[in-house]
Each structure stands twice: as structure tokens, then as C-alpha cells.
Chains A and B, each alone.
Chain A
Amino acid sequence: MTQRLVVIGAGMASGRMIEHLLDGAPEGWDITLFNAEPRGNYNRLMLSPVLSGEKTYDEIVTHDDGFYAARGIACRFGETVTRIDRARKVVVSAGGETPYDRLVIATGSAPFIIPVAGRDLPGVVTYRDLEDTNAMIAASAPGAKAVVIGGGLLGLEAAAGMAARGADVTVIHLMGHLMERQLDPAAGYLLQKDLERRGIRVHCKGATKAILGRDRVEAVLLEDGTVYGADLVCMAVGIRPEVRIATDAALDVGRGITVDARMQTSDPSIFALGECVEFEEQLFGLVAPLYDQARVLADVLNGGDAAFRPVQTATKLKVTGCDLFSAGDFAEAPGREEIVFRDPGRGIYKRLVIENDRLIGAVMYGDTADGNWFFQAIKDGTDISATRETLIFGPAFAGGVQSDPLAAVAALPPEAEICGCNGVCKGRIVQAIEGGATDLGQVRAQTKASASCGTCTGLVEQVLALTLGDAFQKPAAQAICGCTDLTHEEVRRLIKARELKSMPAVMQELGWRTSCGCPSCRPALNFYLLADWPLEYRDDAQSRFVNERLHANIQKDGTFSVVPRMWGGVTNPRELRAIADAAEKYDVPMVKVTGGQRIDLLGVRKEDLPAIWADLNAAGLVSGHAYSKGLRTVKTCVGSEFCRFGTQDSTGLGIALEQRLWGSWTPHKVKLGVSGCPRNCAEATCKDVGIVCVDSGYEIGVGGAAGMDVKETQRLIKAGTEAEAIEITVAFVQLYREHAKYLDRPYKWIAKVGLDWVRDQIADPATRAGLVERFDLSQRVYQKDPWAERAQPREARRFRPVADLSLEAAE
């Protein structure tokens, strides 16, 4: 029989609990899930990469609508539970009463607000959820001033994220050094130096006296009289368990809701887990123990007898470039010894704390590769008396293997924990790989390793490499080129997030290693910048490949080919005559009909280009962009105008599309085809966008190609009218322009983002309209005939030598 389960709070803990619960008994539960936030489960830990611009919110959603729908979970998102009526077994919310057989409280915690004057002013935020994150993103425009109160894990991730977006950030910390609960003073000092190097001001021993401002925050005043100007203040001084509804319902509550090892509260029908609970006088603030609780509670609810036992946790900071690790107890005390290693030149510090020949604590900064190995020794209580001398050099030395990057991982025993958040050990990962997992995604799906805070991703990849040997392929997340470690996707996101609008800005802000890039990154950056900032950015001809710089295709002998546009493949005697005249006048060695339904004049000398263009222009012919990562041709068939089978005017639609889209730059070339009926004489089904007309409208397919890969289009959407077909095509091209990696044809890009996602964007009227509007805006700048511009005498000069010394030299 199914039981009614009500869950209060859709957070990290309850989300994991529900997964386990339904894995164990898919039909056993009728679940109602309340969440005060207006959304379902997402990976809260990953708010920091969202804040810094390295990830988007969509990428950190862990359970989407489909997940809940498939499991019949009633979602009450945006609805706070205000009361629990234990006598009648109902919970009360704005939507009324909801009865339960079993109730789970998973309300997490609430940020602590220090009771200083001004704490309620607009512009004071905490750091807990997406709203907070978005508020900080909105306030971190370059040059804006932000003050973070609290130099712990959350405060520093907030500070680094806002600084990455260009804000001028100050961290105020009450204690003598940063993250004092996880770090000793030496590591705290190195961390502070690293943060200062990236422009973050750190004020330790700073007590906040008041937040100043009239209508919104303006500054923060410290006890010592210092004042820091602030457009935004983020309070990150700590959290306290969110226990209000439990207290009101007269459950046993200490600092958190008291639970036993079965996660049961003082009411046998009510359970609790996550940051809101207290177990054996302990509170929990990291996800690793919460996931253990989730497993235990799911088992208990399904009738099992699991029991929760807290284990030690280790801490890492998710700030790119700040490598720190701490675990166990590292305070100084009588009877304890320590081993310290410092390398000031490289900013490395390691300290091990030993008691009774056992390692009890470790703090590392700068080089944390051996962290997991030490952590394992702490948990195992390994006797280290024999290896004491070389212990600090880690497993590589212990095993006699020197400086092999994989050695540290190879030396780990199977029980060694790789993913701290999810408690996944090396043996479990190896097992998954031996069972057929061949990449990070599969290991993640099967074991959950690296699925939470992500800092162990490198370790998981190393286990993959060790287990699979040469068969392991490092994931496709490849840096653009040798000038940077960032991938195309990361750079695209950072260009938007940090509003980088010029090539020097990108190279400076994102730390390019070369003076002015290389032939791989420069054309890509030039495209990203002009696609994202059509009004602000100025196209850089020197960052384009010769074809796009000179608007003609270079040939093997250094001459060029000239292909005028022939709208939809249609021409007329006047155009043909102009082409014939030009071919004769400039001695064109070959005139050829192309595969794209137009005429190619091959073998034109560079110096003659401006003149031949001027002649063609005079007959109304413009550049066909046969050389561009941009709109190429729109191939059409004769359609209903002449063909006895034609259902619509495919030629007319093709011409209209070409006239709307020509001149636009795209990540790779874009070709269209429009066929008048499913006989498909225009070969529309192997084009980037292929439209096949039918009696009832226009079938629009995307992602076709017939080059190195032959791909058939996939159905995107059906349009009822010609106008709608044009609008959908424009929206699709703009979506591709905004998101794809440079040199990915649409079919490659669609394989990455998924056709469903593309369709959702295009189908949504508001999104579609936005895309069309942005495309048209860009066309106002870029839809110009480049030939006409370069046929002008001023520009034409550039196609000729700057000087002629042939006469002088001959004398």
C-alpha cells in the first residue's frame, strides 16, 4: 500500500533522500514536496561557480520537472509550510492542509544576520540561494563596490565570485586570519595573499559596527573607525539550523531538531535530516554527512534498519586558483607534534599534526594533491612511526615512485575516499569502470562521485586513466589553444558574464598567455565578440582568416575566386551578361557552376578584386560570402510556381530567407535549402536548415550536413505560414550564433545542447521574439555588402603593393 509522505524543503539532503527512497520502493510512496524557494532541487554548492560566471543556473539543476513528473511527485514549490498539526497529522501552508502518514523536515539552515544598525537596508544580502546569487551578480558590475562580512568558506566564495565579475571587493573578517576554523595562521596568510593578488582587499580583526546608508547601503563602519564604501553588503558570518516549525510543533529541539540514529524526531511519524538537525549534540554544515543521513532515512522509511554514524569531513574551497585542504584536528596541544613543509617560492605550505604516532590533522595550501591520502590515514588511524621521516612528501615518496602525477592516486588503497561529498571510495569507482563506465559522466551517473562540489573531478579522471590505461580519453573539454586553459564554452560565458567587449579585455581579464593570441583563438574571439556585442565591438580584420579578411577564397596559387550572390539560385540575363563581361575583362581562367546553385569566377588576381567587384556591383550583384563562416547559399527548387507537384512557393521563400539572413556571421558556415514538396529536389534535408513544403505548411528541419559527415536534418517544428517559417529560421540561426562553439556546424552544436532544448527555446514565443530582435539588431550593423565597401578607392589601395621597387631594382 502506498503511504503519504510529505517533505518540507527541497534541498540537497531531501533530494538525495527521495532518490534513494524511490530506488528502494518505486511504487511505495505518494510524495508531496514543499519548498520555500520557487524551484526544485539544484546543487547549492555550485552557486559559487554561477556567481563567478563559470556555470549557469541551468547547469546546476539536479532534478528537473521531468524527474518529478516521472515519479508522480506533487511539487509545491514557492510554498512555505507554516505549521505542523501533529495531532491531526497535517501540514499547513498557503495552499491549505496536506495530510501525511510520514513527515520529513529538511528545512536546512538560515544565514545568521549580525544585529547591527542598517542590517535591513536594501543592498544587504546573505549567501544561501539563487536569489542571493542573482542579487550579487546584478551588483557586481565592473567598478561597483562590494563588502563581504565574514572570511569563511561562504564569504570567500562570494568575494571571489564578485571580484571575478569586476567588482571592487573587501572582505571583513572578525578573527586574526581567514577561515580560522579550517586553516592555521600560516595557511590563512597564504590564502589572504592569493586573494589580494586578485584584487580582493582583506581586513582581518575587523568588527562591524554599523551598516551605513540612507535609502540603501552606502558603506560599512568598523569598530576601529574604518569605513568601506559599498554598493552591496554580503553577510556571510555563519548559519543556524532552520527549526522554527519544529519548535512551534513542540518537537524536541536543541540547537537543531533532535534526531536519533534513524533520523527520527521525538514524534515517531516525523523525521528530519540535513542542516536543520542535531545528532548527538553535533550539527552538520557540509553535504557529505547529509548524504549519509539521506541514505539512512530512505532505508528506515522503507522498513530497513540502517543507522547514521557521523564521519570526519575534509574541507576544500571552490575558488579557482586557491588550492587548500584541511582535515581533522590541527590545533597545537601538549603531546602533539607537527611536521611542516614550506616552499615560499611556489607558495606551498603543508602541516601534519601527529599524536601517539597517528596522524590526526592536516592543513595544506598550494599543493593539495596528497590531501586524500593524508585524510585516509587520519580516518584509518594508521600507525605512521615507520614512515614519519618522509610522511610529509606523501604517497609518491612512501612508495618510492617519484613525481609521477598518477602515482599519488595509484598509491591509494581501494577504501580511500575520492569524493568526500558523496563518500565514494576508489574501489567503488574502479568497480564502476570495470563494469563498463568509460568516462567521467558514466562514473558520475553510477557512483555520484564528483557530482556535488566537483573538486574531485581530477581525481576521478586519474582513477579512470589508471584503470583504463590508454583506453581513457580525457573529456572533450579542451582548451581553445595554447594561449589559455579555458574552453570555448567557458570563454563564451565569461565574455557575456563579465561584459568583455574587446579582444584586449578578453585576453587581459582571462589571463591569455600570449601577447596577442594565435590563429586559433583570434578568429574565435572575434566572432564571439561581434555576436555578443554587435553595437559595441568593432570587427577586427586582422583576426580573420585571409578569405574573410579579403572577402574572397584564396586559391592554391595565391589568386582568388569570386562568387556573387544569386538569390535562391535564381538569376537573369542581365546578371549573366555582367558575369560574362567581368570574366572576359579580368581574364578569369575558369567560370564554374558551383554545388550551391551559383557561378564561381576562379583565379582572379588579388589586385583586380576591387575592380571586378565594382563591375559586378554595377549590375546589382553583391558578395555571395562563399568564403565565410556565415550565411552561404539558400538552395531552392522551382516549387509551386512551375512544378506540377509543388505545394508552396519554395523559390520565393528561399529568396526571402537569403535576403533576411545574408551578411550575418555564424560559428561555422550555414547553408539552407527549401524544397517545394517531399520529393526534395533542393536536397533540403542535408542542410543546416532545411525546409520541406507540404500542403499544410512548412516542415522545418535542422542539423543537416553533407560534407565530411553526412547528416540528415532532424525535425524542429512545423510552421503554418511563410512568415512563421522565416521567423523560426531566423530565431534558430541566432540561437546558434549565441551559443555554439566556433567551428561547430549546427549538427555538432545540437548534439551537445540537445534538440529538445533548442526546440524549447524556439517554441517559446517570448524567447523566439527576443532571438529575432537580437538578430535584426546585429544585421543593422553587419548586413552590408563588403565588396561595395572595398571597391572604394581608399580601401581598394590595400589590395595593391604599398610600394613598387621593381624599377629601381632593375636599374
Chain B
Amino acid sequence: MTIWIDIAALDEIPQRGARTVRTAQGCVAVFRTFDDRVFALDDRCPHKGGPLSDGIVHGHAVTCPLHAWVFSLETGMAQGADAGSVATYPARVEAGRVLIDAERLMGRRVA
């Protein structure tokens, strides 16, 4: 079952930027792209733990601020020569509010 939780107004996240959501298991980064889509990913780079929410957002991808690995926001997969992936969570915009799937977020603990 999906439990959509309202976490913020879309305006709280800058376009081509991100904010974080604190969870019991660490932070999740919520990205807003140039075309006002939102994506939620673990805020930890699989390379050396860089905070992806502090990276530069371009198209539907983010570049890690520490060593410039690039991740697809849609799939969480590392792009180009690098291998690795970041967990993604369902997120959507409704009436100017950002909703993310709490069910999956809480499920993290079990996984």
C-alpha cells in the first residue's frame, strides 16, 4: 500500500535543486528538476558517501559534489563509466505540494 505524505510546498525546493528529508535511517534527497518534476533518492553517494542533495542538478540527473559521479534521478543508476546505484522512492507533485511514499521510506528499515 502506498501512503503519500505531504512533506513540503514545491516552492520550498529550488528549481534544479534539492532539499533533504530526515528519516530514522538517514537523509533522503528530494530533487526538483527544470520541468518541475520531483524525485526522491537516498542522500548518500555509493562512491564515498557524498551528499547528493548538494550536487548540481541538470536535466533529470544530479552530479555528486565530491567526485562528480552522475546519477539518473529517474532510476538512481550511475551514468557513464561509473557503476553503482542509489535507492529511489516514489514522489509526486499535487496541487503545489510535494508528496512522497512513506510506506517505502519506512520499509527501508527492514530492507
Within 8 A of A (CB), among B12-37: 12-17, 19-25, 27, 30, 34-35
Q: Are A522 and B109 in contact (CB under 8 A)?
A: no
Is A197 among interface residues, defined by CB-CB distance under 8 A?
no
Chain A residues with CB under 8 A of B93 = none
Q: Are B56 and A545 in contact (CB under 8 A)?
A: yes
- B8, B21, B50, B58: the one within 8 Å of A516 (CB): B58
Chain B residues with CB under 8 A of A116 = none
**A31-39, A719-727, A732-740, A799-807: which one contacts chain B?**
A799-807
Q: Are A801 and B49 in contact (CB under 8 A)?
A: no
Chain B residues with CB under 8 A of A805 = 5, 7, 21-24, 102, 105
User: Given contacts A803-B22, A804-B22, is CB(A550)–CB(B58) below 8 Å?
Assistant: no
Q: Are B22 and A558 in contact (CB under 8 A)?
A: no
Contact with A along B40-76 (1 / 0, CB 8 A): 0000000011110011111100010110100000000
B31 to chain A, nearest CB (A): 11
- B16, B19, B55, B106: the one within 8 Å of A801 (CB): B19
Q: Are B56 and A557 in contact (CB under 8 A)?
A: no
Chain A residues with CB under 8 A of B8 = 802-803
Bound complex: CA A606 to CA B102 (Å) = 25
Number of A-B pairs, beta carbon distance below 8 Å: 96
A555 to chain B, nearest CB (A): 9
Contact with B along A783-810 (1 / 0, CB 8 A): 0000000000000001001111110111
Q: Are B65 and A554 in contact (CB under 8 A)?
A: yes
Chain A residues with CB under 8 A of B25 = 809
Contact with B along A488-521 (1 / 0, CB 8 A): 0000000000000000000000000011111100
Residues of B in contact with A, size category: 35 or more
Chain A residues with CB under 8 A of B20 = 801-802
A192 to chain B, nearest CB (A): 35
Within 8 A of A (CB), among B77-94: none
Chain B residues with CB under 8 A of A801 = 19-22, 27
A111 to chain B, nearest CB (A): 48
Contact with B along A521-561 (1 / 0, CB 8 A): 01100000000000000000111111001100010111000
User: Given contacts A542-B15, A810-B24, is CB(A550)–CB(B54) below 8 Å?
Assistant: yes
A521 nearest CB neighbor, chain B only: B58
User: Given contacts A515-B35, A516-B58, is CB(A541)–CB(B14) below 8 Å?
Assistant: yes
Q: Are B65 and A546 in contact (CB under 8 A)?
A: yes
Q: Are A543 and B56 in contact (CB under 8 A)?
A: yes
Bound complex: CA A523 to CA B65 (Å) = 13
Chain A residues with CB under 8 A of B15 = 542
B5 to chain A, nearest CB (A): 7
Within 8 A of B (CB), among A548-584: 549-550, 554, 556-558
Chain B residues with CB under 8 A of A809 = 23-25, 102, 105-106, 109
- A515, A541, A804: the one within 8 Å of B21 (CB): A804
Bound complex: CA A557 to CA B109 (Å) = 23
Q: Are B23 and A806 in contact (CB under 8 A)?
A: yes
Contact with B along A604-625 (1 / 0, CB 8 A): 0010000000000000000000
B108 to chain A, nearest CB (A): 8
Bound complex: CA A801 to CA B21 (Å) = 5
Bound complex: CA A544 to CA B24 (Å) = 30
Chain B residues with CB under 8 A of A543 = 16, 56
Q: Are A517 and B23 in contact (CB under 8 A)?
A: no
A548 to chain B, nearest CB (A): 11
B36 to chain A, nearest CB (A): 12
A806 nearest CB neighbor, chain B only: B24
Q: Are A545 and B58 in contact (CB under 8 A)?
A: no
Bound complex: CA A549 to CA B105 (Å) = 28
B12 to chain A, nearest CB (A): 5
Chain A residues with CB under 8 A of B66 = 554, 556
A554 nearest CB neighbor, chain B only: B65
A541 nearest CB neighbor, chain B only: B14
User: Given contacts A541-B14, A801-B19, A809-B109, is CB(A558)–CB(B57) below 8 Å?
Assistant: no
- B7, B34, B57, B109: the one within 8 Å of A802 (CB): B7
Bound complex: CA A804 to CA B26 (Å) = 10
B8 nearest CB neighbor, chain A only: A802
Bound complex: CA A802 to CA B35 (Å) = 20
Q: Are A522 and B49 in contact (CB under 8 A)?
A: no
Bound complex: CA A546 to CA B34 (Å) = 18
Chain A residues with CB under 8 A of B54 = 546, 549-550, 554, 558, 606
Chain A residues with CB under 8 A of B105 = 805, 809
Q: Are B12 and A802 in contact (CB under 8 A)?
A: yes
- B13, B16, B19, B51: the one within 8 Å of A558 (CB): B51
A604 to chain B, nearest CB (A): 14
Chain B residues with CB under 8 A of A545 = 56, 65
A362 to chain B, nearest CB (A): 43
Q: Are B68 and A803 in contact (CB under 8 A)?
A: no
Bound complex: CA A688 to CA B55 (Å) = 29
Q: Are B21 and A522 in contact (CB under 8 A)?
A: no
Bound complex: CA A544 to CA B17 (Å) = 11
- B27, B51, B59: the one within 8 Å of A515 (CB): B59
User: Given contacts A805-B21, A806-B23, is CB(A514)–CB(B58) below 8 Å?
Assistant: yes
- A519, A544, A557, A808: the one within 8 Å of B58 (CB): A519
B9 nearest CB neighbor, chain A only: A802
Chain A residues with CB under 8 A of B51 = 554, 558, 606
Bound complex: CA A556 to CA B48 (Å) = 8
User: Given contacts A515-B59, A516-B59, A809-B106, is CB(A802)–CB(B68) below 8 Å?
Assistant: no
Q: Are B21 and A517 in contact (CB under 8 A)?
A: no
A775 to chain B, nearest CB (A): 28
Bound complex: CA A390 to CA B15 (Å) = 56
A398 to chain B, nearest CB (A): 40
A75 to chain B, nearest CB (A): 53
Chain B residues with CB under 8 A of A516 = 16, 34, 58-59
Chain A residues with CB under 8 A of B63 = 518-519
Chain B residues with CB under 8 A of A802 = 7-8, 12-13, 19-21, 30
B73 to chain A, nearest CB (A): 13
Bound complex: CA A546 to CA B13 (Å) = 15
Bound complex: CA A515 to CA B57 (Å) = 11
Chain B residues with CB under 8 A of A522 = 56, 58
Bound complex: CA A516 to CA B21 (Å) = 25
A556 to chain B, nearest CB (A): 7
A186 to chain B, nearest CB (A): 40
Chain A residues with CB under 8 A of B106 = 808-809
A627 to chain B, nearest CB (A): 12
Chain A residues with CB under 8 A of B102 = 805, 808-809
B20 nearest CB neighbor, chain A only: A801
Q: Are A557 and B14 in contact (CB under 8 A)?
A: no
B19 nearest CB neighbor, chain A only: A802
Q: Are B19 and A542 in contact (CB under 8 A)?
A: no
A523 to chain B, nearest CB (A): 8
Bound complex: CA A514 to CA B34 (Å) = 11
Bound complex: CA A557 to CA B68 (Å) = 15
Chain B residues with CB under 8 A of A544 = 56
Bound complex: CA A804 to CA B25 (Å) = 11
Bound complex: CA A542 to CA B53 (Å) = 11
Bound complex: CA A516 to CA B14 (Å) = 14
The 5 closest A-B pairs by CB, nearest first: A802-B19, A803-B7, A546-B65, A546-B54, A542-B16
Q: List 8 A-B contacts (CB under 8 A).
A: A518-B63, A542-B56, A546-B55, A554-B51, A606-B54, A805-B23, A809-B105, A810-B24
Q: With A522-B58, A550-B54, A805-B5 given, can you name 20 additional A-B contacts, CB distance below 8 Å?
A: A518-B63, A519-B56, A519-B58, A519-B63, A519-B68, A522-B56, A541-B17, A542-B14, A542-B57, A556-B48, A558-B54, A802-B8, A802-B21, A804-B21, A805-B7, A805-B105, A806-B22, A808-B5, A809-B24, A810-B24
